[in-house]
């Protein structure tokens, strides 16, 4: 049996034009973000080769609302999984790139030199995000049927890091597309 995953980033959020790291800050979708998800839901309904059987998302309101819109045509309730949250940027959350660079120059340089392993104070590094997301995905994949949604960036970190990558032998990326300004990764598992 082949399982297909659609890894979808949530729609645009309120205040996105300010370009601040949101991480675990719970920000709602903007009207534009809702429209993006509605267009994406129509696209998936038209293009999917089979009916979605499950929809998973982080527990943040922007992801839950996005998942509800995607799941709507299938009359299924999304399952919120805390481990699928965005990266926790700790004390950097709510700050812009320039503000971080100005207020924390040494930490910023450490992050720029080692973005996978550096973690802002009270935050987490990319490898920690990858591990928690992949562990949660591994748990979900124990079920016989799964089609999920979550932040593509988290799982892609697991795909691209060959050091501790547990999922690579079991799946391949079929297509990466940008539809309605939302990133969609289509992955099959053998």
Residue pair 39/12 in contact by the 8 Å Cβ criterion: no
In order, the DSSP letters of 103-119 are H-HHHHHHHHH-TTT--
Active site residue 86: yes
Which is catalytic among the residues 86, 93, 107, 124? 86
Give the pLDDT confidence score for residue 68 in this predicted structure.
95
Q: Which residues of the chain have pLDDT under 70?
A: 1-3, 49, 143-190
The helix (H) or strand (E) run that includes residue 185 is strand 182-189
Give the pLDDT confidence score for residue 18 in this predicted structure.
75
Torsion, CA 105, CA 108, CA 112, CA 118, rounded to 10 = 140
Domains and CATH numbers, the chain: 3-86+127-189 (3.40.50.1240)
Give the pLDDT confidence score for residue 186 in this predicted structure.
58
Give the pLDDT confidence score for residue 141 in this predicted structure.
78
Give the pLDDT confidence score for residue 143 in this predicted structure.
60
Q: Is the four-CA dihedral 130, 132, 133, 138 of positive or negative sign?
A: positive
3-8 vs 182-189, strand pairing mode: antiparallel
Which is catalytic among the residues 10, 93, 107, 124? 10
Q: What is the pLDDT of residues 44-63, one digit of tens each?
A: 888 776 788 888 899 999 99
Active site residue 47: no
56-57 vs 79-80, strand pairing mode: parallel
C-alpha distances (whole Å) from 131 to each of 3, 28, 77, 128, 157 are 21, 26, 26, 5, 9
Radius of gyration of the chain (CA): 17
* Assigned token pair, 61: 């309101």
How far apart (Å, rounded) are the C-alpha atoms in residues 129 and 35?
A: 28
Give the pLDDT confidence score for residue 185 in this predicted structure.
57
Give the pLDDT confidence score for residue 2 in this predicted structure.
64
């Amino acid at each position: 049996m082949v399982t297909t995953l659609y890894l979808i980033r949530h729609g645009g959020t309120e205040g996105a034009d300010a370009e601040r790291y949101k991480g675990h800050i719970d920000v709602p979708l903007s009207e534009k973000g809702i429209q993006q998800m509605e267009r994406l839901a129509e696209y998936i309904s038209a293009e999917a080769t089979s009916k979605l059987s499950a929809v998973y998302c982080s527990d943040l309101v922007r992801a839950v609302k996005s998942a509800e819109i995607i799941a709507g045509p299938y009359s299924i309730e999304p399952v919120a999984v805390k481990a699928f949250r965005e990266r926790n940027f700790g004390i950097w959350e709510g700050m812009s790139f320039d503000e971080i660079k100005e207020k924390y120059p040494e930490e910023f340089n450490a992050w720029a030199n080692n973005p996978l392993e550096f973690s802002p104070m009270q935050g987490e590094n990319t490898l920690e995000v990858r591990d928690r997301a992949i562990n949660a995905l591994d748990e979900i994949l124990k079920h016989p049927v799964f089609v999920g949604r979550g932040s593509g960036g988290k799982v892609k970190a697991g795909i691209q890091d060959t050091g501790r990558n547990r999922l690579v032998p079991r799946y391949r990326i079929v297509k990466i597309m940008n539809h309605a300004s939302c990133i969609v990764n289509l992955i099959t598992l053998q």
